[in-house]
Every structure is written in C-alpha cells, then in structure tokens.
Amino acid sequence: MRLVLRQAVLFCAGVAAMLVALEIALRLLPVSVGLYQGDRSDLWPLHNFQAHRPYTHSTTWELQYARHGQTNNYGQLAPFDYIPGSRPVIVVGDSYIESQMNDYRDTLQGYMGTMPGVTEPVYGLGVSGMSMSDYLAMAGQAAAEFAPRAAVFLVVDGDISESLLDQAGQYYLRETTDGLKLTLHPKSMHPLFTRIRQSVGDLYLYRYVTQNLRFSLPELTPLFRVAQAQRLATPIEKEAAAQYAVVDRFLDELPGRSGIEPQCIALLLDGDRYAIYDPRLASPRKDLPEARAYLIRKASELGYRLADMQPLFREDYKRHQRHFDYYPVDAHWNSLGHRLAAERAYELLFRQPGGHC
C-alpha cells in the first residue's frame, strides 16, 4: 500500500511540475488573456467585458495574429471611452465587429471614424456570439445610453437562425402565442463555480486551452453530440418559417428600439467569402438562402440602407486576388474586409441622395 502511495505521489509531482513549467512558458507568449465577462448581466450586451482592462488576443495553437488592446468604460474593445448622450454612429455586430483579431484602426468603426465628413463619434458595439435577437437588445440599450444618430448593423451567416436558440446569457426570440418575444436567458452559475472559474481564469494554461484551443469538455461527451444532431435535424419548412419570422421581428422593431429611422440604418450582409476564393470551399449556410433573400427584399421595402457584401467582395477578389479574412485559419474579416465594409457603410449613410443622416 505504501509503495502504491509513493508511486501516486511521484506521479502527481510529475504532473504538477509539468503544469508549472507550461504555465511559466505560456506567460512568455501572447496567449489570449485579459478579457473577463462583466459582472452585471442585466447590462449585457452593451457592457460586455470588464472595463478598462488590457488584453491580448491570438488564435490557434500557434498563437497566430497576436494583438494587444484595451477595453473601454463599457467593456467594449476600443482605445477610448464612450460618452453617454454623444449622438454617435453605432456599429453593431458579433465577433466581426468586436474584432479581437484586428487593431482598432483596422476595424469598420475605426475606418469610419476617420472618413471625411464623419463628425460624429463612431462607437463599435460588437460582442462575440451575438445574433439578431441580441442586436435588438443592444439597439435598445444603445438608444437609451447614447441616443445614436445613425447605425450600422453587420449581419453574418447564423445571425438569423441563432436568434431562435435559447442559450444561457443571451437574448433569443421565444415562440409565444403572440408571436416571437425577445427574452433574456440569464446566466446562472453556482457561486462556487464562478469563484473557481475566476481563479483559474487567470492561469495562462487555462486560457490557452479554452481560448486558443477552444477546448470544451461538454463538446466531447456523447450527450452533447446527440443534442447537436437533434438540433440540426429540425425540418426545413419549420426552419424557413421561423427564420422569416425572425427577419420580420428584427426589421419591424429595430427603428423603435434604436430610435433611428430606417434610412439612417445601414445593414451590411456578409457572404460566403471562401466560395469566392474557390467554389470547392463553399460551405453549407446556417441561415437559409431564402431567409437571407427575404431580409434583403423586406429591408429595401421598409427603407433601410442595405448592402450585400458578396458581390462587392467577388468583384474586388477578381481584380486583386486578395483575401478579406484570415483564410484559412480564421474567417473573421481582416483589415481589407473591414475597410471595404466601412467604405460601403459610409456610402450608404453619408453619400446617398437624400443626404447625411
């Protein structure tokens, strides 16, 4: 028995020594660290991360595309604080707008802020994982806080369908007898787990595994895989009707929530850029093409300013053969993708007949 105990102690000593060595080594490298969820879930998504914290972002096991930055007073990734009531142009979107992988000056909001004639401040309100339902919530919070003059919403693949998913910590459109209702699924975690997560969250090894490697224990379990398969097995007719309803809800509610007229709201629709690089790389879309087409049609009818980025990207790629993202590692836009989107949004909001918003 003593022998077995001794062997176990020696084994654990080896484990501990290696964990310490890895932690020390990773502290010398640009591991994704520094971004912590804000404490007030009722203020989410406007107040996203903890305010005024430096962070490092990198992607993949190789720690590619390392970037350093800082959160502002709203926990958004920007090198300056946002001022309440400042009547800005807001740029709303998911991780594309959050844009951890780009320097601030290379983002849509960064570019727009430097364009001629844009005298208002431009505020990026991007939160990774958001979808159209969250955009509605964000629009309401931003309206109350900043009274924005104009807005840009970036709609990427998945934003329509994911609005229906009931996920902890996020807004979703719940089916009720009166139609879809915007609902927050509050995040609830046992305080003990929260404390553990906070303490291990400072470990670079933990951050490397969860942020860079995207390791998630539940995703390995058979139960998770079954749930995923079930979720994917939704009949297509039901899905189409639901996605149309999401589009309706979003377009109908957005002006009221944001306090901005549709002609001062630019909707930018991302496309399948990999299919432009090589048709063999075209991937199945999460949002039905019909729902996307419906969004374009209905938004135009309601007077929104809208740009489908796909033909624009295709044209640019034909001319210059340059990627708009970190292909093949990361599909998020790079500086070029953001610049083209900013130019398009600028045209829509500031260079259209009918004038400046």
- Min. distance of Cβ 27 from other proteins in angstroms? 16
Pairing between β-strand 150-155 and β-strand 171-176 as defined by DSSP bridges: unpaired
> Which residue among 52, 68, 322, 351 contacts other proteins (CB under 8 A)?
322
Residue count of the chain, please give it. Answer: 357
Helix axes 132-146, 236-258, angle to 10 degrees: 0
Q: Pick the piece of the chain touching other proteins (CB under 8 A) from 45-53, 56-64, 186-194, 289-297.
A: 56-64
- 14 forms part of the interface with other proteins (CB under 8 A): yes
How many other CB atoms are found less than 10 A from the CB of residue 233? 7
- 60 forms part of the interface with other proteins (CB under 8 A): yes
Residues 30/56, Cβ–Cβ less than 8 Å: yes
> Which residue among 22, 51, 165, 312 contacts other proteins (CB under 8 A)?
22
- 226 forms part of the interface with other proteins (CB under 8 A): no
- 220 forms part of the interface with other proteins (CB under 8 A): yes
> Which residue among 25, 83, 200, 213 contacts other proteins (CB under 8 A)?
213
> Which residue among 1, 2, 5, 11 contacts other proteins (CB under 8 A)?
11
- Min. distance of Cβ 147 from other proteins in angstroms? 43
CA dihedral 322, 324, 328, 331 (to 10 degrees): -170
> Which residue among 62, 117, 279, 354 contacts other proteins (CB under 8 A)?
62
Q: Is the dihedral of CA 275, 156, 264, 109 positive or negative?
A: negative
> Which residue among 54, 79, 179, 328 contacts other proteins (CB under 8 A)?
328
| 181 torsion bin: left (phi>0), alpha (psi -120 to 50), beta (else) | beta
**Closest by CA position to 132, among listed 294, 4, 272:** 294
CA 243/CA 44 separation, integer angstroms: 24
- Min. distance of Cβ 20 from other proteins in angstroms? 10
Residues of this chain that bind other proteins (CB under 8 A): 7, 10-19, 22, 60-62, 209, 212-215, 220, 320-322, 328-329
